[in-house]
Amino acid sequence: MIRYSLRCDNGHDFDGWFRSSEAFEAMQKAGQNTCALCGTSNVQKTLMAPSVPSKTKAGAAPLTEPQNRMEAALDQLRKHVEANSDYVGLKFADEARAMHEGRSPSRAIHGEAKPEEAKKLIEEGVPVAPLPFTPRQKAN
């Protein structure tokens, strides 16, 4: 995973996590990188310092509490999504399409899709939106 500092054309600063720099570029071309505050897709990477792990004592617990309002809002959104939708993992595109076509009962879902799969869903008119966090099922 790679984290980029991002800024929208309205001046909002936020972080985005991506599988790779190529994944960022693909999502950027598809208009899927959107501001977490205003929703605009006019988002650019900003200058950021490299992340260098610090030496910690053995067994030191990582930070888990939100460090600012943005992190707290994202944490609250994550909890809401997890409590009110089904995680379908890598079957997200297939399940979203099946619900849109009436082949599967409609319900709230979240999961993962490759950029090209997400682009196809959007082109087909399937109502989807990227989430500004990585599913916990994928977190180590």
Residues 72-125: tens digit of each pLDDT: 888 889 889 999 999 999 999 999 999 999 999 999 999 998 889 989 999 999
pTM of the model: 0.52
Q: For strands 86-89 and 43-45, give the pairing.
A: unpaired
Contact 112, 89 (CB under 8 A): yes
For position 60, what pLDDT does the model report?
A: 47
Q: Torsion angle, CA of 112/115/120/121, rounded to 10 degrees? A: 30
Distance of alpha carbon 43 from alpha carbon 51, whole angstroms:
21
Q: What is the pLDDT of residues 5-57, one digit of tens each?
A: 889 999 998 888 888 888 889 999 988 888 878 888 899 988 766 666 655 55
SS3 content of the chain, % helix, strand, coil (to 5): 35, 15, 50
Strands 86-89 and 109-111: parallel
38: which 2 tokens? Answer: 């205003």
Instruction: For strands 2-8 and 43-45, give the pairing.
Output: antiparallel
